[in-house]
Amino acid sequence: MEKWRLYLREAHNEAQLALRCWTAFVHAEEVANLEDVFFHLHHFILHATNVDKLLDAKSGSTRQRLLADQIDLNGVDLKACRRLRNHLEHFDERLDLWIDRYDGHAFFDRNIVTGAKAFPTKTFLRALDGHTFKFHGEDYDLDEVRATMSNIAERLAAIIDPGDS
Protein backbone atom coordinates (compact mmCIF):
# COMPACT_ATOMS: atom_id res chain seq x y z
CA MET A 1 0.00 0.00 0.00
CA GLU A 2 1.21 3.50 -0.76
CA LYS A 3 2.29 5.37 2.36
CA TRP A 4 -0.01 8.35 1.78
CA ARG A 5 -3.01 6.00 1.80
CA LEU A 6 -2.21 5.01 5.38
CA TYR A 7 -2.57 8.63 6.50
CA LEU A 8 -5.79 9.13 4.58
CA ARG A 9 -7.21 5.85 5.83
CA GLU A 10 -6.51 6.86 9.41
CA ALA A 11 -7.99 10.34 8.87
CA HIS A 12 -11.10 8.71 7.39
CA ASN A 13 -11.40 6.37 10.38
CA GLU A 14 -11.06 9.30 12.80
CA ALA A 15 -13.69 11.32 10.88
CA GLN A 16 -16.06 8.35 10.96
CA LEU A 17 -15.49 7.93 14.71
CA ALA A 18 -16.13 11.64 15.23
CA LEU A 19 -19.44 11.33 13.39
CA ARG A 20 -20.42 8.27 15.45
CA CYS A 21 -19.67 10.24 18.61
CA TRP A 22 -21.75 13.15 17.27
CA THR A 23 -24.72 10.82 16.79
CA ALA A 24 -24.33 9.52 20.34
CA PHE A 25 -23.97 13.11 21.62
CA VAL A 26 -27.22 14.16 19.93
CA HIS A 27 -28.99 11.09 21.32
CA ALA A 28 -27.72 11.92 24.83
CA GLU A 29 -29.11 15.44 24.39
CA GLU A 30 -32.48 14.04 23.33
CA VAL A 31 -32.75 11.79 26.40
CA ALA A 32 -31.31 14.49 28.68
CA ASN A 33 -28.39 12.40 29.93
CA LEU A 34 -25.99 15.13 31.02
CA GLU A 35 -23.10 12.79 31.78
CA ASP A 36 -23.32 11.17 28.34
CA VAL A 37 -23.71 14.55 26.62
CA PHE A 38 -20.27 15.64 27.81
CA PHE A 39 -18.75 12.16 27.45
CA HIS A 40 -19.70 11.89 23.77
CA LEU A 41 -18.97 15.56 23.15
CA HIS A 42 -15.43 15.14 24.47
CA HIS A 43 -14.84 12.11 22.25
CA PHE A 44 -16.34 13.86 19.22
CA ILE A 45 -13.89 16.73 19.69
CA LEU A 46 -10.99 14.34 20.29
CA HIS A 47 -11.60 12.43 17.03
CA ALA A 48 -12.25 15.62 15.06
CA THR A 49 -9.01 17.13 16.25
CA ASN A 50 -7.16 13.93 15.31
CA VAL A 51 -8.35 14.50 11.73
CA ASP A 52 -6.93 18.02 11.95
CA LYS A 53 -3.62 16.67 13.28
CA LEU A 54 -3.32 14.11 10.50
CA LEU A 55 -4.26 16.31 7.55
CA ASP A 56 -2.63 19.58 8.59
CA ALA A 57 0.95 18.34 8.46
CA LYS A 58 3.90 20.58 9.26
CA SER A 59 5.38 22.23 6.21
CA GLY A 60 8.35 20.28 4.91
CA SER A 61 7.51 17.14 6.88
CA THR A 62 7.38 13.67 5.36
CA ARG A 63 3.62 13.56 5.91
CA GLN A 64 3.12 16.90 4.21
CA ARG A 65 5.18 15.69 1.25
CA LEU A 66 3.29 12.38 1.04
CA LEU A 67 -0.14 14.02 1.28
CA ALA A 68 0.56 16.85 -1.17
CA ASP A 69 -1.93 16.62 -4.03
CA GLN A 70 -3.65 13.51 -2.57
CA ILE A 71 -6.70 15.25 -1.07
CA ASP A 72 -8.34 18.51 -2.03
CA LEU A 73 -9.11 20.46 1.13
CA ASN A 74 -10.11 23.67 -0.64
CA GLY A 75 -13.04 25.24 1.17
CA VAL A 76 -12.48 23.12 4.28
CA ASP A 77 -11.43 24.98 7.41
CA LEU A 78 -9.71 22.56 9.73
CA LYS A 79 -8.77 25.44 12.03
CA ALA A 80 -12.28 25.53 13.51
CA CYS A 81 -11.20 23.13 16.23
CA ARG A 82 -7.45 23.82 16.35
CA ARG A 83 -7.57 26.16 19.33
CA LEU A 84 -9.97 23.87 21.17
CA ARG A 85 -7.63 20.94 20.45
CA ASN A 86 -4.76 22.88 21.99
CA HIS A 87 -6.87 23.73 25.04
CA LEU A 88 -7.83 20.10 25.59
CA GLU A 89 -4.29 18.83 25.06
CA HIS A 90 -3.15 21.23 27.77
CA PHE A 91 -6.21 20.95 29.98
CA ASP A 92 -4.12 20.83 33.14
CA GLU A 93 -2.57 24.20 32.29
CA ARG A 94 -5.97 25.70 31.38
CA LEU A 95 -7.41 24.46 34.65
CA ASP A 96 -4.46 25.97 36.55
CA LEU A 97 -5.06 29.31 34.83
CA TRP A 98 -8.82 29.18 35.44
CA ILE A 99 -8.29 28.38 39.14
CA ASP A 100 -5.70 31.18 39.47
CA ARG A 101 -8.36 33.60 38.15
CA TYR A 102 -11.18 32.11 40.24
CA ASP A 103 -12.41 34.67 42.76
CA GLY A 104 -15.35 32.80 44.28
CA HIS A 105 -17.81 33.67 41.50
CA ALA A 106 -20.50 31.27 40.31
CA PHE A 107 -19.25 29.00 37.54
CA PHE A 108 -20.44 26.41 35.05
CA ASP A 109 -18.58 23.16 34.50
CA ARG A 110 -20.18 20.48 32.36
CA ASN A 111 -23.51 22.26 32.41
CA ILE A 112 -26.09 22.89 29.73
CA VAL A 113 -26.70 26.63 29.79
CA THR A 114 -28.83 27.03 26.66
CA GLY A 115 -30.69 30.30 26.91
CA ALA A 116 -28.82 31.59 29.98
CA LYS A 117 -28.06 35.28 29.61
CA ALA A 118 -25.72 37.87 31.10
CA PHE A 119 -23.11 35.56 32.60
CA PRO A 120 -19.52 36.79 32.23
CA THR A 121 -17.28 34.56 30.12
CA LYS A 122 -15.12 33.80 33.15
CA THR A 123 -17.99 31.73 34.58
CA PHE A 124 -17.69 29.05 31.87
CA LEU A 125 -15.10 26.36 32.36
CA ARG A 126 -17.04 23.84 30.24
CA ALA A 127 -20.63 24.45 29.24
CA LEU A 128 -22.96 23.82 26.35
CA ASP A 129 -25.23 26.51 24.92
CA GLY A 130 -27.21 24.79 22.19
CA HIS A 131 -24.44 23.43 20.00
CA THR A 132 -21.95 26.05 21.11
CA PHE A 133 -19.29 24.60 23.39
CA LYS A 134 -18.15 27.22 25.88
CA PHE A 135 -14.71 26.39 27.14
CA HIS A 136 -12.30 28.49 29.13
CA GLY A 137 -14.08 31.70 28.12
CA GLU A 138 -14.28 30.91 24.39
CA ASP A 139 -17.10 29.68 22.13
CA TYR A 140 -16.81 26.83 19.62
CA ASP A 141 -19.49 26.10 17.01
CA LEU A 142 -19.94 22.33 17.14
CA ASP A 143 -22.27 22.24 14.14
CA GLU A 144 -19.46 23.75 12.07
CA VAL A 145 -17.01 21.10 13.27
CA ARG A 146 -19.54 18.33 12.53
CA ALA A 147 -20.16 19.69 9.02
CA THR A 148 -16.40 19.80 8.44
CA MET A 149 -16.04 16.18 9.58
CA SER A 150 -18.87 15.09 7.24
CA ASN A 151 -17.27 16.94 4.34
CA ILE A 152 -13.84 15.46 4.99
CA ALA A 153 -15.24 11.94 5.50
CA GLU A 154 -16.97 12.16 2.11
CA ARG A 155 -13.83 13.43 0.37
CA LEU A 156 -11.70 10.74 1.96
CA ALA A 157 -14.18 7.98 1.16
CA ALA A 158 -13.90 8.94 -2.51
CA ILE A 159 -10.10 8.56 -2.38
CA ILE A 160 -9.30 5.55 -0.24
CA ASP A 161 -9.79 2.01 -1.47
CA PRO A 162 -12.74 0.23 0.16
CA GLY A 163 -10.34 -2.41 1.46
CA ASP A 164 -8.21 0.26 3.16
CA SER A 165 -10.61 0.95 6.02
Q: Whole-angstrom Cα distance, residue 67 to residue 8?
A: 8
State pTM to two decimals. Answer: 0.89
Domain range holding 85? 3-164
Which residues face 124 on adjacent strands?
108
Residue 73 confidence (pLDDT) above 90: no
Given a contact cutoff of 8 angstroms between Cβ atoms, the answer to whether 59 and 33 are in contact is no
Q: Specify burial of residue 2 (Cβ count, 10 A radius: 0-12, 13-18, 19+).
A: exposed
Task: Give me the percent of the chain exceeding a pLDDT of 70.
Answer: 97
Virtual torsion, Cα 160, 161, 163, 165, nearest 10 deg: 10
**Interstrand relation of 108-112 and 124-129 (parallel, antiparallel or unpaired):** parallel
Residue 164: its pLDDT value, please?
57
pLDDT, tens only, 15-70: 999 999 999 999 999 999 999 999 999 999 999 999 998 998 899 999 999 999 99
Neighbours of 90 (CB within 10 A): 12
Task: Look at the chain and report how many structural domains it folds into.
Answer: 1
Residue 135: its pLDDT value, please?
87
